[in-house]
Amino acid sequence: MTESTPERPVGMTAVRTTTPGAAAARARQVRPATEGWTQQKDAEGRPLLQFASPKRGKPPVHLADLTHDQRVEKMKELGLPGFRAGQLEKHYFQHYTSDPAQMTDLPASDREQLVTGMLPDLLTEVRRLETDGGDTIKFLWKLHDGALVESVLMRYTGRITLCVSSQAGCGMNCPFCATGQAGLTRNMSAAEIIEQVVRANRLIADGGLGDPRKVGHKDERVTNIVFMGMGEPLANYARVMQAVRTMVDKKHGLGMSARGITVSTVGLVPAIRKLAAEDIPVTFALSLHAPDDLLRDELIPVNSRWKVDEALDAAREYFEKTGRRVSIEYALIKDMNDHAWRADLLASKLNERGSGWVHVNPIPLNPTPGSIWTSSDVDVQNEFVRRLNEAGIPTTLRDTRGKEIDGACGQLVATEEDQAAAASA
């Protein structure tokens, strides 16, 4: 840390210093290893990291790919008055429709041209799975080039959350995450990201997440976005931020609150610092999963580029620049990263950087196909949480929704069954 590192505030509970030196502790240390699949490696035998998107055909340009001024110019290119852009924005972002028949305020002769030129089809729904009494829905989408992505819609008391994908596949190659097993197919466009939200809002408006007249109100919609679906959001930085700007644009976009949008990363430090400078107060989440470099190098391959302390320093800087408390995501994996001494080490590292800037969300590991890894025992999980809270780190065990339909964190992946279904969609 730098010389400006805040000291631990007076009265904060000291962290017990424990180490994994005991033979019993060492015996319980499971090393990360893939099960049922082979991790891609580079020429030097290290886990392959894919930061650049493979070159594939680009999706058609969509209204949500453009700024308002660009939309006006596009209208003029189509031989239509520029003010039609505002009308089309209202239909798409407020009424969640691309159906020309519903655009009765537009001249009938212009509607098909407008929709064809500005609202091309981006997502084809292949499959929809429900659980939690209909409060959790997972969508499988086929993109224009056949790539498959998933998003998950979840109703909670007082809010509706959509977990969106930002890439088809993922290039971060984390061995415990199903999404990264096939590598990165390509980045998604800003409009493909936004379309997931618009389609979810359309379903809600039609009563597909329970009857709004009974469980909410007639105008309810997605209130919270988490970039925790397929992909590493900060590896698709420009398009993700373009989508975020459209989400928060109250005049020409979805008009959402930036505080209801969470952008997560496994630790791309330069991009974290860039995000902090955007002046958009989204919630930032760091997927840490281990407080020590020895384990995190294996568990999160990008740790070979930017170490634990570098990622935490960048996270602290995000808090300092935005005033927004950072979330630390931590998947608890039995006998791998759930040791009491690791809870103490995590607490120590966070407290070294001050108080009031961070919240830890431990998550019981969600199983993935072919893996023998499993979530921590309940007593171990509770002890991990207790130690963090006792050390003054606000910690809340996160609810895992959608496990039954492989829709929980780390489970999103296009299976062979999905591919077969998509072929006929």
Catalytic residues: 150, 409
Sequence-distant (6+) residues with CB within 8 A of 24 are none
Cross-strand bridge partners of residue 270: none
Please say whether the dihedral angle defined by the alpha carbons of residues 418, 333, 234 and 48, taken in this order, is positive or negative. Answer: negative
Tokens of residue 337, six digits: 């990263």
- Residue 344's SS3 state is helix
Cross-strand bridge partners of residue 141: 125, 149
Residue 247, amino acid:
M
Cross-strand bridge partners of residue 131: 136
Q: How far apart are CA 142 and CA 148, in angstroms?
A: 5
Render 85-103 in DSSP notation, one character per residue: HHHHHIIIIIS----GGG-
Nearest to 368 by CA among 17, 37, 12, 78: 37
Strand 159-163 to 148-156 pairing: antiparallel
Q: How far apart are CA 91 and CA 208, in angstroms?
A: 20
Nearest to 265 by CA among 193, 183, 349, 167: 167
- Residue 107's SS3 state is coil
Q: What are phi and psi of 288, to 5 degrees?
A: -90, -60
Tokens of residue 66, six digits: 């453009």
Cross-strand bridge partners of residue 167: 187
Write down the residue that tokens 């790539």 correspond to.
147
Q: Cα 16 to chain center, whole Å?
A: 33
Residue 295, amino acid:
L
- Residue 423's SS3 state is helix
Specify the DSSP element, H or E, that contains 283. strand 283-287
Nearest to 246 by CA among 174, 193, 321, 318: 193
